[in-house]
Structure 1
Amino acid sequence: MIALLLRDLRLALRAGGGFGLGLGFYLVLATLVPLAVGPQPDLLAPIAPGILWLGALLACLLSLDRLWALDAEDGSLDLLATSPLPLEGAATVKALGHWLTTGLPLTVIAAPLSLLLFLPTQALPWLVISLAVGTPALSWLGTFGAALTVGLKRGSLLLSLLVLPLYIPTLVFGAEVVRRGGEGLSVATPLAILGAISLGCLAILPFATGAALRANLR
């Protein structure tokens, strides 16, 4: 599993591997929104939690089509299916690699970018916490969606249509954590639900992803 994880990390960090794609998109979004709306704190501050979370969601979506497609093209997926490592374990490694190269960098860069949107100072720690708790669910749901569409022509379009509805609960509760934190309200309920979504994905989706891959390999 460690060797597979290191391989995925090396592929993601290479030029064109998708590592900088999500960060670049997040940076562009955080820069363009103030230019489009106007650099007015009264306008930007209320929408900043939703914009920052939506940007993270779309940035995670950009690199999902690479998760299994490259392995299917070069035959690595067939080798994984016949290796001692079960496909559930391979799916776990893929999701972890995606989070390390996409979700974690987005979590780190979100706080500085939030200054462009005039996010209240008291909401900054909750933004980081909510992304740290919620982005694993985005990676897991994306890994599952990529497994469903592996081997399909124009699968990236279908992948987006499949995954985006599954992302909505994470988006809603993640943005709610940041909004409540900025207003000084209790964040316990949305943060607990956000954590439950990530834990539920961790418990269920390895088996669902493994089953999807076996169905596509038949």
Structure 2
Amino acid sequence: MSAPADPAAVAATAPGLIGAARALIARDLRLLWRRRGDALQPALFALLMVVLFALALGGDHAALAKVAAGVLWLACLLAGLLALDSLFRGDADDGSLEQWMLAPVPLGWLVAVRTFTHWATTSLPLLIAAPVLGELLYLPREQLPVLLLSLALGTPVLSLLGAVVAALTVGMRRSGILVALLALPLYVPVLVFGAGSVARAAQGLDPVGGLLLLAAILVVALLLAPLAAAAAIRIALN
């Protein structure tokens, strides 16, 4: 049996983790504010996608209502994918990733914080705007709670899986297409369970099974994805 952790060491480490997270989030938000135009691209892309689907189906209320949940899920997925290549790219170019590896906090913790910032700036605005976008697509209002819950469980998984892919390709130049090719197969189960839960609710069936699977995937991804991404960054920089 291993010796119990020293309470003093745990107390000293916790403020370090929290302080590092605060500093990294503040830095990311400052950089995001300086390039506000780039930061708005995922949200504008999602809005454009919703409008194009509405135009393509000719404003048919019944047809739009049937595909509304799937369209919103695809919009969130592709909007997050749009900003995925830049998740660690800027830090690799300016040498910040090397500083991360030398920091007195675990690299996986910094990766998790950066992934949270990515989710909060790309997927969270779309999650908040989902009721409005759903109205544009004539989404039945009784499906909205299931859609919001599935997005709240599924979009963090997309960001965590995307962080692993972005870390694997951080050492490559012009890896945008490769990132998409690697990430999209990993996104398929999340999309199936997320949009499928809403489809089951629309058919009058119980959507809890799909939502529980999403929750289980989220727990596993929270535990393993930051560690896998940290290992990929170490390999890419060595």
Same-fold status (TM-score > 0.5): yes
Which residue of structure 1 aligns with residue 115 of structure 2? 95
Q: Residue 13 of structure 1: CA displacement?
A: 3.4
Partner of 2:96: 76
- Kept in 2: contact 1:121–1:182 (CA 8 A): no
What CA distance in whole angstroms lies between the structure 2 residues aligned with 1:24 and 1:17?
10
Give, as a single letter, the amino acid of the residue that structure 2 aligns with 1:147.
A
Match of 1:20 among 40, 48, 53: 40
**Structure 2: distance between partners of 1:77 and 1:17:** 25
Separation (CA, whole Å) in 1 of partners of 2:35 and 2:179: 23
TM-score in terms of structure 1 length: 0.96
Q: CA deviation at 1:17?
A: 6.5
Who is 1:215 aligned against? 235
More off after superposition, 130-139 vs 175-184: 175-184
CA distance 1:134–1:114, change in 2 (3 Å): same
Say what the alpha-carbon RMSD is for the aligned residues. Answer: 1.3
Structure exhibiting the larger radius of gyration computed from Cα positions? 2
Task: Give the stretch that moved more between structures: 208-217 or 11-20.
Answer: 11-20
Residue in structure 2 matched with residue 85 of structure 1 by the alignment: 105
Give the number of equivalent residue pairs: 218
Distance 1:177 1:9 in 2: 33
- 1: distance between equivalents of 2:221 and 2:205? 27
Greater Cα offset, 2-11 or 64-73: 2-11
Verify: 1:135 aligned to 2:155, yes or no.
yes
1:120 to 114, 125, 140: 140
1:50 corresponds to: 70
Over residues 102-156 of structure 1, what are the superposed CA-to-partner deviations in whole Å (9 max), with x where a residue is unaligned?
1211110111101111111101111111111111001101111110000201111
Q: Which runs of 5+ in 2 are unaligned?
A: 1-20
What amino acid maps onto 2:173 in structure 1? K
TM-aligned CA deviation for residue 21 of structure 1 = 1.1
Q: Which residue of 1 aligns with 2:7?
A: none
Equivalent-residue separation in structure 1 for 2:102 and 2:135 (angstroms): 49
Report Cα offsets for 1:148-202 as digits up to 9, x if no partner.
0002011111111111100001111110122223333211100001111111110
User: Who is 1:109 aligned against?
Assistant: 129
Contact 1:126–1:177 (8 Å) recurs in 2: yes
Distance in 2 of aligned mates of 1:148 and 1:16: 27
What runs of 5+ residues in structure 1 fail to find an aligned partner?
A: none
Equivalent in 32, 47, 50 of residue 52 of structure 2: 32
Query: Is the contact between residue 145 and residue 163 of structure 1 (CA under 8 Å) also seen in structure 2?
Result: yes
Aligned partner of 1:193 in structure 2 is 213
Q: What TM-score do you get using the length of structure 2 for normalisation? A: 0.88
Distance in 2 between residues matched to 1:208 and 1:50, nearest whole Å = 29
SS of corresponding position for 1:67: coil
Distance apart, 1:14 and its partner CA: 3.0
Structure-2 separation of matches of 1:53 and 1:74: 34
Q: Write the distance in 2 (CA, Å) between the matches of 1:52 and 1:4.
A: 30
- The letter for the 2-side match of 1:190 is G
Q: Secondary structure at the match of 2:180?
A: helix
Deviates more, 1:6-15 or 1:173-182: 6-15
Q: 1:8 aligns with which of 10, 24, 28?
A: 28
Give % identity: 46
Instruction: State how far apart, in whole Å, the 2-side matches of 1:105 and 1:14 are.
Output: 18
